Amino acid sequence: MLFVDQVAIVTGASQGIGFAAMKALSNEGAKVIALSRNPEVLKQAIDELSAGHAGSITGIPIDVRNEAEVQQAIAQVLSTFGKIDILINSAGVSMRGKELVQEVDLEEWKRILDTNLTGTFLMSREVLPAMVERNSGYIINILSTAAYRSSAGDSIYAA
Which residues belong to the active site? 157
If we measure between CA atoms, which residue out of 15, 18, 16 comes closest to residue 32?
18
* Alpha carbon distances (Å) from 40 to 35, 36, 44, 125: 12, 10, 6, 27
List the one residue out of 88, 125, 92, 122 whose CA is nearest residue 8. Answer: 88
What amino acid is encoded at 32 in this protein? V
